[in-house]
């Protein structure tokens, strides 16, 4: 068993720079960044630390072999050469999944079968047995064939890392937690930040921002596949969980205010914030974007309704236009809006200082970043209603601009 493992952390396009910073912060070694993935090295403690602490990657996988495979014999031999008996006990369950792209071995089911046979043969030899009941812990084997180069990996995560454990339910087309965490980082959310979202939905953007500000490890409320792996002892998981808990900073000045016109979304956001342990820092209320008046010091992180969340393109354009009007009347420290609407800038009324291509799941999006108080195109300003947002920052524990008497 090597002292250091080679690990792979896939991420969505556009999240690489933030993921790189996260890996450096937890002490990963030999980090290499490419489109949609990072590779790094570390011991068994790094497997636990990465799963518990990384906010912006999708999973953590152990890379076992990389080799050229243009025939089934070559595929078999590359898998058989791995010391599976050192990783998997004799009763391990080991399903095989994977993909093939631009490779001679194009049939995924056939590749799965060959890989499974190679692992079976090696385990029988290594454990000196003729029976592999597969009744024990599950070790998920993954393979990836790209241009005839095969990677054999062992998944240490299980359910994707975007499943934090706090979002039991969500509205239609929610933003992925790992993407929301990346946006919070790009928005430079800090311990004393004030963050707002006029289209909060189930609250993911603000909850992720709060957990980042408070340094709450995203994996504390869930379990991982490698917690049942014999080569990552339970003591290591306990140590890394305790370290993550100790690193949390609950006494911060961070506050977040989210608004949505749908009462069901607001109720869900409040419930999710409580499950995430940030309910004292995140406040959600029913409100219309037409009444939104961002505070001057606020960072606005938002995912305006579009596509599945909007019945018509015209309706989405109208909401973006209304948001732009409100930001024109009430400029703030920065606006970070992610949307699949490629005409967002036109509807919003202002070109972004910077754009970044990203993916929300498999949906291509753009993150439109407005760093300073924007100067909008000339157009009549929409008058603010007398009731609604007053622009004042509340003290922790208060419900914000729609405080109930």
pLDDT tens, 328-384? 999 999 999 999 999 999 999 999 999 999 998 888 999 999 987 545 554 443 333
CATH T-level topology, domain 177-215+249-370: Rossmann fold (3.40.50)
173 φψ region: left (φ > 0), alpha (ψ -120 to 50), beta (else): left
Beta bridge partners of 154: 62, 141
d(CA 365, CA 378): 27
Closest CA to 338 of 374, 363, 313, 371: 363
Give pLDDT, residue 344: 96
Residue 306's pLDDT is: 84
Burial class of 240 by CB neighbour count within 10 A (0 to 12, 13 to 18, 19+): buried
What's domain 5-155's architecture? 2-Layer Sandwich (3.30)
119 with 141: CB under 8 angstroms? yes
Burial of 368 (0-12, 13-18, 19+ CB in 10 A): buried
First to last CA, the chain: 64
Tokens of 223: 């379990």
Cα dist from 161 to 11, 336, 337, 388, whole Å? 10, 23, 23, 38
pLDDT at 384: 35
Grouping H, G, I as helix, E, B as strand and the rest as coil, residue 197 is strand
Q: Where are the alpha helices (DSSP H) in 68-203?
A: 72-80, 84-87, 108-127, 177-186
| pLDDT score of 314 | 85
Helix intervals (H) in 57-176: 72-80, 84-87, 108-127
Mean of per-residue pLDDT scores for the chain: 91
Whole-angstrom distance, CA of residue 295 vs CA of residue 394: 11
Identify the three-state secondary structure at position 62: strand
Which tens digits make up the pLDDT trace of 212-260? 999 999 999 999 999 999 999 999 999 999 999 999 999 999 999 999 9
CA distance 340 to 307: 8
Length of the chain: 405
| Phi and psi torsions of 64, nearest 5° | -100, -30
Contacts of 284 (CB under 8 A, 6+ apart): 200, 203, 206, 257, 258, 259, 260, 266, 269, 270, 273
pTM score of the predicted model: 0.88
Domain ranges of the chain: 5-155, 177-215+249-370
Q: How far apart are CA 65 and CA 67, in angstroms?
A: 7
For residue range 142-166, list pLDDT tens digits in order: 999 999 999 999 999 999 999 998 9
Query: Where is 204: in which H helix or E strand?
Result: helix 204-213
The token pair at 116 is 């499974």
Q: Is 361 left (phi over 0), alpha (psi -120 to 50) or beta?
A: left
**DSSP strand pairing (96-101 vs 141-146):** parallel
Crossing angle (nearest 10°) for helices 16-25 and 44-53: 130
pLDDT band at 398 (very low <50, low <70, confident <90, very high): very low
Residue 171 pLDDT: 67
């Amino acid at each position: 068993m090597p002292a250091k493992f080679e690990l792979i952390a896939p991420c969505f396009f556009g999240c690489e720079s933030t993921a790189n910073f996260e890996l450096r912060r937890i002490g990963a070694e030999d980090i290499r960044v490419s489109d949609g993935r990072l590779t790094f090295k570390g011991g068994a403690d790094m497997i636990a630390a990465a799963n518990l602490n990384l906010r912006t990657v999708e999973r953590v996988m152990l890379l076992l072999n990389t080799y050229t495979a243009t025939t089934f014999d070559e595929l078999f031999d590359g898998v058989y050469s791995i010391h599976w008996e050192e990783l998997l006990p004799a009763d391990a369950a080991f399903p095989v999944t994977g993909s093939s792209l631009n490779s001679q071995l194009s049939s995924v089911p056939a590749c799965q079968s060959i890989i499974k046979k190679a692992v079976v043969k090696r385990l029988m030899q290594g454990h000196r047995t003729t029976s592999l009941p597969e009744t024990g812990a599950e070790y998920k084997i993954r393979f990836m064939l790209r241009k005839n180069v095969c990677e054999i990996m062992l998944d240490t995560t299980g359910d994707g890392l975007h499943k934090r454990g706090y979002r039991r339910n969500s509205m239609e087309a929610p933003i992925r937690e790992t993407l929301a965490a990346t946006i919070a980082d790009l928005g430079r959310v800090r311990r004393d930040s004030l963050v707002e979202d006029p289209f909060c939905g189930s609250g993911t953007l603000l909850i992720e921002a709060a957990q980042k500000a408070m340094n709450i490890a995203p994996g504390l409320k869930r379990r991982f596949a490698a917690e049942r792996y014999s080569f990552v002892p339970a003591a290591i998981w306990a140590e890394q969980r305790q370290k993550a808990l100790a690193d949390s900073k609950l006494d911060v000045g961070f506050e977040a205010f989210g608004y949505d016109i749908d009462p069901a979304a607001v109720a869900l956001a409040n419930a999710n914030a409580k499950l995430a342990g940030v309910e004292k820092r995140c406040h959600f209320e029913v409100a219309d974007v037409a009444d939104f008046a961002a505070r001057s010091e606020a960072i606005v992180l938002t995912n305006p309704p579009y596509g599945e969340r909007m019945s018509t393109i015209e309706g989405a354009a109208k909401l973006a236009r209304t948001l732009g009007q409100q930001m024109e009347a009430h400029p703030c420290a920065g606006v970070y809006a992610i949307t699949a609407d490629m005409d967002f800038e036109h509807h919003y009324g202002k070109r972004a200082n910077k754009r970044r291509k990203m993916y929300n799941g498999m949906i291509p999006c753009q993150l439109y970043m407005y760093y300073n108080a924007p100067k909008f195109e000339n157009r009549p300003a929409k008058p603010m209603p007398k009731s609604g947002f007053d622009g004042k920052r509340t003290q922790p524990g208060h419900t914000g601009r729609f405080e109930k008497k």
